[in-house]
Structure 1
Amino acid sequence: MTVNDDSFTNWKTREEIAESMIPLIGKLQRERDVTVLLHSRSLVNKSVVSILKTHRFARQIAGEELSVIETMPFLQALTALDLGPSQIDIGMLAETYKADDRGLSVEAFTAEAVAGATGVNKIERREGRDVVLYGFGRIGRLVARLLIEKAGSGNGLRLRAIVVRGGGDQDLVKRASLLRRDSIHGQFQGTITVDEANSTIIANGNVIKVIYANDPSEVDYTAYGIKDAILIDNTGKWRDREGLSKHLRPGVDKVVLTAPGKGDVPNIVHGVNHDTIKPDEQILSCASCTTNAIVPPLKAMEDEYGVLRGHVETVHSFTNDQNLLDNYHKSDRRGRSAPLNMVITETGAASAVAKALPDLKAKITGSSIRVPVPDVSIAILNLQLARETNREEVVEYLRTVSLTSPLRRQIDFTSAPDAVSNDFIGSRHASIVDAGATKVDGDNAILYLWYDNEFGYSCQVIRVVQHVSGVEYPTYPAPVA
């Protein structure tokens, strides 16, 4: 048999194993609210090739490819356990099992590693929490996709309604079409139908009421059977407590803003300060996409090296608040054509760091340039550290943070020498450390952080909503602090 034959036989074997994983992953999700991860990447609703590619990607962060041959025994062991709602990373199970020298079987090791999610320790399924989207633009539609994807067994978040201003003839059909097809993020994974008579969109069986209103005061959500809902404001029209309080209508319990909050509105970056949210807090912000991109790695660097001062330069994709062609705009430069120009603009991300990281005493400044790409941005974080180090140490530290720390859902890592912005469309992390671009000279470190300013940010929003709703389930094996 030739080398080529060996490679193809190996591929077909792994393909067969990946195919047999799919029903096991789906059953755990539907029946037990267990989300199977691989190095923080969900394997739920993934194809055979996607599962294999996710395993292969592990070589960029763990140094070698992870095989389904290695992870399948752990998945099989999970199906035999009395699991409660949780997220279980079979990549981490496989990696930690290799390092364990006690001679345990895969079954015994797995049972021990996820003991907090089994038997008397397991969390009971919670009643689903209603969610309302106020606004249905770029972020609103991506958040909708994520909510529908995560509906799972029906015991988590339930997207019940979308509130928009009336747009004329065929409004519902056009909005459904924008949800179904996206020029950047591709086709919706599932089926979407429209019931114009009842003003509803049915997406993968989720019946979503479309409510037309020009102001929050016009809506009584209880009239639609909605109760104790979390309302996600995607418009950015109201950003202070007084304005956002308008959403606290009958049927709505909490308001989450997908833009930086003003005044005393808490700005939350999941993974960094989400545990500071008070149980009785009704209004909060998920800050900006750039704040979410820079704060987790900034915290990681502060924890390990100390940060004396820093500057962030954001090279940001253009957004809908810019003009397609030159036209009047209230801002000085954003009126110039977005697809044709680099546009210097302001960013509040640096000043927002203080809200998310109040213990960080370092002064952080920031500026931003909008560039002619439709999605994925890069933040260049230039830091003066409290101690000297070297590039190898910083790169290895951030690689480890992306794998095993409590920030592993926020910080991703790539060592691909040819990585460009398009490669990170659809990333679910808040930011991705580019190892090859990292520069360190004594006490100065420059980090290049890619981030999908649409989808990655939307994932952070969903994590905050899951946390305040009580359906953010624990992850096993537990991350290393």
Structure 2
Amino acid sequence: MTVNDDSFTNWKNREEIAESMIPIIGKLHREQDVTVLLHSRSLVNKSVVSILKTHRFARQIAGAELSVTETLPFLKTLAELDLGPSQIDIGMLAATYREDDRGLSIAEFTAEAVAGATGANKIERREGRDVVLYGFGRIGRLVARLLIEKSGSGNGLRLRAIVVRGGGDQDIVKRASLLRRDSIHGQFQGTITVDEANSTIIANGNEIKVIYANDPSEVDYTAYGIKDAILIDNTGKWRDREGLSQHLRPGIDKVVLTAPGKGDVPNIVHGVNHDTIKPDEQILSCASCTTNALVPPLKAMDDEFGVQRGHVETVHSFTNDQNLLDNYHKSERRGRSAPLNMVITETGAASAVSKALPELKAKITGSSIRVPVPDVSIAILNLQLARETTRQEVLDYLREVSLTSPLKRQIDFISAPDAVSSDFIGSRHASIVDAGATKVEGDNAILYLWYDNEFGYSCQVIRVVQHVSGVEYPTYPAPAV
């Protein structure tokens, strides 16, 4: 047998093992509200190849690919336990077991590591929480995809309705079609049908009422059987407490804005300050995509090195706020053709940092250039640190943060030498550190942070909504603090 034959046989064996993992992962998710992760990446509803590729990602941790033969025993053990709702990282289980020298069996070690999710300690499965989307644009449709994807057992978040202005003939058909196909993010993973007579979109079995209204005051959500719902306003039309309070109609309990909030509206970046949300707070903001990209790495750098001051330059993909061709626009420069020009514009992300990270005393300034790509942006963060360091120390630290810290869902790390913006379409992280572009000299560090300003940001929104709804379940093994 040739070497190539050996490689191919090995691949087929791993495929077979990955296939055996899929029904276990699915059953845990549907029946027990357990999300199986591999180094913070969900394995739920993933294909055989996706599972194998996610295992290959573990090269960043130990320099060698994590084998499915190594993780399968942990997964089989989980299937035998009386687990409550939780997120369990089998990659971290395998890594910590490898370092454990007590001679425990995999079953014994796993039971101990996830003890907080079993027996008397486990969280009881909660009734699903209703969610309403107000607006159905770029962010609204991606948030809808994520809500449908995560509906799982039906005990988490349930997308019950979307509210839009009437758009004429076949409005609901056209909106369903935009949900089904996306020029950037590809096809919807599942089935979508339309019930025009009942103004309903049915996506993977989720019945989503399409409500037509020109103003929040026109809607009584209880008339649609909606109660205690979280409303996600992704129109950006209202950004202060007075305007957003209009959404607090019958059936709506909380309002989450997908844009920077003004005045006293809390600006939340999940992973950094989501634990400051007061239980009785009814209105909050998820800040901007750029703020979400900046704040987690800023916090990480300040925690380890101290940040004296900084400047961020964002190179941002164009958005619907700009014009396709030159035309009037209320803002300077944004009236010029978005797909034909680089457009200098302002960004509020730098000033928003202080709202999400008030303990950061450093002054952060910022500016932005819109460029002719439809998605994925990059923030160039230039920092003066409180102490001198080296490029290798910074990279080693950020790599570890991305893998094992409480910020691992927000910060990703890539060392590919030829990475470009399109590689990060669909990233679920708030920002991705580009190791190859990082520059450090003495007390000066320049970080290049990629971010999918549509999908990565939508994932952050979902995390905030999960937190305030009480369905953000604990992760095991617990990340290092």
Contact in 2 for aligned 1:164/1:214 (Cα 8 Å): yes
Answer yes or no: is the 8 Å Cα contact 1:402–1:408 preserved in 2: yes
Instruction: For residue 433 of structure 1, report the CA deviation from its aligned partner.
Output: 0.6
Report how far residue 140 of structure 1 moved: 0.1
- Summarize deviations over 1:447-476 as a string: whole Å, max 9, x none: 111100000000000000000000000001
**Structure 2 length-normalised TM:** 0.99
Q: Residue 62 of structure 1 corresponds to which residue in structure 2?
A: 62
- For structure 1, which segment, 53-62 or 393-402, has the greater mean C-alpha deviation from structure 2 after superposition? 53-62
Q: What is aligned with 1:189? A: 189
Shift of residue 60, structure 1, vs aligned partner: 3.4
Q: Give the whole-Å Cα distance in 2 for the aligned partners of 1:370 and 1:476.
A: 40
SS of the counterpart of 1:339? helix
Distance 2:427 2:445 in 1: 24
Q: C-alpha displacement at 1:8, in angstroms?
A: 0.4
**TM superposition shift of 1:64:** 2.1
Q: How much is the aligned-residue C-alpha RMSD, in angstroms?
A: 0.7
In the alignment, does 2:457 pair up with 1:441?
no
| CA distance in structure 2 between the aligned counterparts of 1:108 and 1:425, rounded to whole angstroms | 40
Give per-residue Cα distances to partners, 1:131-155, cap 9 Å, x unaligned: 0000000000000000000000000
* Alpha-carbon shift at residue 98 of structure 1 (Å): 1.1
**Quick one: percent identity of the two aligned structures?**
91
Structure 2 CA distance, aligned partners of 1:34 and 1:267? 29
Deviations 1:138-196 (A, max 9, x none): 00000000000000000000000000000000100000000000000000000000000
User: Are 1:61 and 1:413, in contact at CA under 8 Å, matched by a contact in 2?
Assistant: no
- Measure the CA separation in 1 of the matches of 2:141 and 2:79: 34
Q: 1:375 matched to which residue of 2? A: 375
Q: Which stretch shows the higher mean deviation, 323-332 or 58-67?
A: 58-67
CA displacement at 1:365 relative to structure 2: 0.3
The DSSP-based 3-state class of the residue aligned with 1:159 is: strand
**Partners of 2:347 and 2:460 in 1: CA distance:** 19
Distance 1:62 1:180, change over 3 A: farther
Counterparts of 1:415 and 1:426, CA distance in 2: 18
Query: Which ranges of 4 or more aligned residues in structure 1 deviate by more than 3 Å?
Result: none
> Residues 317-332 of structure 1 correspond to what in structure 2 (within 5 A)?
317-332=317-332
Deviations 1:379-428, CA, capped at 9 Å, x for gaps: 11110000111011100000100111000010011111111111110000
Q: Within the alignment, does 1:114 sit opposite 2:90 as a pair?
A: no
Partner secondary structure for residue 120 of structure 1: helix
- Secondary structure of 2:58 counterpart: helix
Deviations 1:217-263 (A, max 9, x none): 00000000000000000000000000000000000000000000000
**Distance in structure 2 (CA, Å) of the matches to 1:147 and 1:63:** 35
Distance in 1 between residues matched to 2:8 and 2:309, nearest whole Å: 53
Give 1:210 deviation, angstroms: 0.2
Shift of 1:63: 2.5
Q: How far apart are the structure 1 equivalents of 2:340 and 2:366?
A: 24
Distance in 1 (alpha carbons) for counterparts of 2:372 and 2:158: 36
Post-superposition shift, 1:58? 2.1
User: CA–CA distance in 2 between the matches of 1:419 and 1:37?
Assistant: 25
- CA displacement, residues 334-355 of structure 1 (integer Å, 9 cap, x when unaligned): 1111111100011000000000
* Equivalent position SS for 1:441: strand
Structure 1 counterpart SS, 2:358: coil
How far 1:67 moved relative to its partner? 1.3
CA distance in 2, matches of 1:283, 1:63: 45
Cα-to-partner distance string for 1:270-296 (whole Å, 9 max, x where unaligned) = 000000000000000000000000100
Seen in structure 2, the aligned counterparts of structure 1 residues 62 and 367 have a Cα distance that, compared at 3 Å, is farther
| SS of corresponding position for 2:446 | strand
Gapped regions of structure 2 (runs ≥ 5): none
> Does the 8 Å CA contact 1:18/1:48 hold for their aligned counterparts?
yes
Secondary structure of residue in 1 paired with 2:339: coil
Listed as ranges, the gaps of 5+ residues in structure 1 are none
Q: Name the CA distance, whole Å, in 2 between partners of 1:356 and 1:174.
A: 37
Distance between the aligned counterparts of 1:95 and 1:420, measured in 2?
Answer: 30
| Counterpart Cα distance in 2 of 1:395 and 1:63 | 15
Q: How many residues align?
A: 481
Distance 1:106 1:61 in 2: 21
Distance 1:196 1:280 in 2: 38
Q: How far did 1:49 drift? A: 0.6
- Return the offset for 1:61: 4.7
SS in 1 for 2:57: helix
In 2, are the aligned partners of 1:312 and 1:382 still within 8 Å (CA)? yes
Corresponding residue SS for 1:107: helix
| Contact kept in structure 2, 1:421 and 1:450, CA below 8 Å | yes
Aligned partners of 1:318, 1:350: CA distance in 2, in Å? 19
CA distance in 2, matches of 1:198, 1:208: 10
**Are the equivalent residues in 2 in contact too, given 1:38–1:91 (CA < 8 A)?**
yes
- Aligned partner of residue 162 in structure 1, secondary structure: strand
* 1:43 positional shift: 0.5
Q: CA deviation at 1:101?
A: 1.2
Contact 1:308–1:361 (8 Å) recurs in 2: yes
Deviation at 1:102, TM superposition (A): 1.2
Q: Distance in 2 between matches of 1:166 and 1:102?
A: 65
- The answer on whether the counterparts of 1:379 and 1:448 sit within 8 Å (CA) in structure 2 is yes
- Give me the whole-angstrom Cα distance separating, in 2, the residues matched to 1:192 and 1:38: 29
CA 1:62–1:433 in 2, change beyond 3 Å: closer, same or farther? farther
2:9 is aligned to 9
Tell me the distance in 1 between the aligned counterparts of 2:242 and 2:411: 34
Partner of residue 455, structure 2: 455
CA distance in structure 2 between the partners assigned to 1:135 and 1:98 by the alignment: 48
Query: Contact conserved, 1:60 with 1:416, CA < 8 A, in 2?
Result: no
Contact 1:61 1:415 in 2 (8 A): no
| Contact kept? 1:132, 1:229, Cα under 8 Å | yes
1:17-52 CA distance string (max 9 Å, x none): 000000000000000000001111110000001111
Where 1:207 maps in the other structure, the secondary structure is strand
Assess if the C-alpha contact under 8 Å between 1:173 and 1:194 holds in 2: yes
Residue matched to 2:172 = 172
Deviation at 1:65, TM superposition (A): 1.3
Q: Give the secondary structure class of the aligned counterpart of 1:462.
A: helix
Q: In the TM superposition, what is the alpha-carbon distance from 1:62 to its structure 2 partner? A: 4.2
